[in-house]
Structure 1
Amino acid sequence: MPEQSSVQTSVLLRETPADGVLLLRLNRPERRNALATPLLRDIADALSRAEGDEAVRCVVLTGTDRLFAAGADIDELASGSPDDPVDSPRFWAWAAIRAFPKPLIAAVEGWCLGAGAELMMCADIVVAGAGARIGQPETGLGIIPGAGGTVTLPRLVGRARAMKMVLTGQPLSAAEAQGAGLIADVVEQGRALDAALTLAGGIAARPPLALRAAKASIRDVALLDEAAHLRAERERFIALLGSADKAEGIAAFREKRPPVWRGR
């Protein structure tokens, strides 16, 4: 494993814990990693750079060993008004995070609430410690979720469970969230990041073009009807047949050797 590197900003830590893996840590402990707009923009900017960096094949997003993120920044919420534009820097930061085309894994410990849960739902795979608690409590503040809690959540867990989570504000335990299909893996408390990095390392060793196409196709389930989705899947499949990675994968299989992926 290569030597770790780390660059710190005021609210986000960037690390390279393994070949092909970028780790982003929310770094606002004094505000329980509250997702103020500057932090969201930092995340979006980091993902934009990762998208253009061939050395990055998988990204892991995490908080601290005690919590992921406790929600939006209460000071920003307090200063908001009905005159706020929809097309704001915050709105477009969320859009950029959701549009990240490479594999994105979230490692969650402790509280993951409100905007924190919405950020978690931007990930393709979520690994949570057994003590994680995931919820959308915004209605208790007289507002509603504003970044996917009434849009993405019901698509993942179904209408009935999403209604209960949002209308009551009651969080799910890690085991409940896994049972609902909101997270993929539950591990021993305090081990979510280790498990996520192991998973990321395995994913980063796989062919990047195929991973991007697979992610895009799976995400189309919320956008396309079945017939259109099947056609789009087939188009992506056929496009990959001309890639150097496909030729390398077939050759490596026949020669019984590890493949060397080029992302081409």
Structure 2
Amino acid sequence: MSTGTRTGAFTTLAVEERDDRVVVTLDRPEARNAISARMIRELHTVCERLEDEPRFLLLTGAGRVFAGGADIAELRERGRDQALQGVNSRLFERVRRLPMPTVAAVDGWALGGGAELAYACDLRIAGPDAVFGNPEPGLGILAAAGACWRLPELVGESVAKQVLLAGRRLDAEAALACGLVADVVPAEELTGAAHRLIDRMARQSATALRLTKLVVDSPGAHPVADDLAQAVLFEGADKRERMTAFLERGSARSTTPAPSEARS
């Protein structure tokens, strides 16, 4: 696989484009990668590219921090109109709806808006120092960019209320225990483990992955959504080629003599 090229048009992100994936590093280490208005705009640009040319997204943070939250100085100045615009929530929903699977590799703090951005990804993998939390009520606001409804879906209502109401922070092991993350790996192996997870998905049918994601993210549309997606896949050449290869491998195994038969 190509190691990719760094894209230099961003100031708050480091973006590496590969043939089948885009690696985005939140890159404001001086501010614990706080999610600023400029970062929001730049992430919208990344989303636009991934919508035009569907690829996997790997999202991580610079300096052993994922994102310490929204930029509080900017957030303090936002009023009713900005809240109604859904500055952060519209971006995170766009991330959620990207056509190909998304993976967040989280080490260090993922708090507030940083946690909500991780929740918006399809899969999360954590380093040992990862901490997820939503301290928004302590700032006089609520976690309004998806946490109030995404987190209960991810970890259940009880744990979500512990985080959202009681201020509980989930460390890496707690996040693993409640299913928020797929795995916890040493910090130095985090990026490699995230790439291996994407590699495993990349061996599957891209069309099947896209439609599976679309169906999973369409609550209330079943079974019609399942049937329509399957109908599209049943007509594709990829399905026939993969199933033919599977059957041919099985046929080859069944006609290969066992070691004892080969010696007789």
2:227 aligned partner, one-letter code: R
- The corresponding residue for 1:132 is 130
1:82 aligned to 2:83? no
Aligned residue number for residue 116 of structure 2: 118
**Residue 211 of structure 2 aligns with which residue?**
213
- SS at 1:146's partner residue? coil
The runs of 4+ residues in structure 1 deviating greater than 6 Å are: none
C-alpha deviation, 1:88, in angstroms:
4.8
| Residues in 1 aligned to 2:34 and 2:50: alpha-carbon distance in whole angstroms | 23
Deviations 1:50-92 (A, max 9, x none): 22225x3x11111125110000001111102234351355443
Code of the aligned partner of 1:6: R
**Alpha-carbon distance in 2 for matches of 1:38, 1:31:** 13
Q: Check whether the contact 2:88–2:145 (CA below 8 A) recurs between aligned residues.
A: no
- Residue equivalent to 1:26: 26
How far did 1:137 drift?
0.8
Q: Structure 2, unaligned stretches of length 5 or more?
A: 251-264
- The answer to whether structure 1 residue 251 and structure 2 residue 244 are counterparts is yes
Secondary structure of the 1:84 match is helix
| Match of residue 256 from structure 2 | none
The 1-side partners of 2:115 and 2:180 are apart by: 10
Compared CA separation, residues 52 and 82, structure 1 to 2 (3 A): closer
Larger Rg: 2
Tell me how far 1:234 sits from its aligned partner: 2.3
Contact 2:93–2:120 (8 Å) recurs in 1 = no
Distance in 2, Cα, partners of 1:179 & 1:108: 16
* Structure 2: distance between partners of 1:119 and 1:88: 14
Report the 3-state secondary structure (helix = DSSP H, G, I; strand = E; otherwise coil) of the residue aligned with 2:82: coil
Could you say which structure has the greater relative contact order, defined with CA pairs below 8 angstroms and 6 or more residues apart?
1
Corresponding letter in the other structure for 2:17: T
Q: Give the structure 2 partner of residue 145 of structure 1.
A: 143
Q: Does 1:5 align with 2:5?
A: yes
Distance 2:223 2:20 in 1: 31
Aligned partners of 2:86 and 2:145 also within 8 Å: no
- Specify the SS of the correspondent of 1:229: coil
Is 1:242 paired with 2:235? yes
For the residues of structure 1 that align with 2:121 and 2:151, how far apart are their CA atoms?
Answer: 12
Instruction: Write the distance in 1 (CA, Å) between the matches of 2:212 and 2:132.
Output: 27
Query: d(CA) in 1 for partners of 2:155 and 2:198?
Result: 24
3-state SS of paired residue (1:107) = strand
Tell me the matched-pair count: 249
SS in 2 for 1:190: helix
* TM-score, length-scaled by structure 2: 0.87
For the pair 1:36 / 2:29, whether they are aligned, the reply is no
Which string of whole-angstrom CA distances, capped at 9 and with x for unpartnered residues, describes residues 222-241 of structure 1?
x31xxx42332122112210
CA–CA separation in structure 1 for the residues paired with 2:155 and 2:87: 29
Q: Which amino acid aligns with 1:159?
A: E
Match of 1:260 in 2: none
**Deviations 1:128-179, CA, capped at 9 Å, x for gaps:** 0121111111111111111011111111111111111112222101111111
The answer to which of 232-241 and 27-36 deviates more is 232-241
Q: Which runs of 5+ in 1 are unaligned?
A: 258-264
Structure 2 contact 103–194 (Cα < 8 Å) conserved: yes
Equivalent pair of 1:65/1:109 in contact (CA under 8 Å): no
Identify if the C-alpha distance between structure 1 residues 99 and 110 changes in structure 2 by more than 3 Å, giving closer, same or farther: same
Match of 2:57 in 1: 59
Decide whether the 8 Å contact of 1:25 with 1:64 is kept in 2: yes
Structure 1 residue 196, shift from structure 2 partner: 0.3
Query: In the TM superposition, what whole-angstrom CA distance separates every residue of 1:182-227 from its partner, at most 9, and x where no partner exists?
Result: 111111233221100111122123211000111112222xx31xxx
Determine the C-alpha separation between the residues in 2 that align with 1:175 and 1:90.
Answer: 28
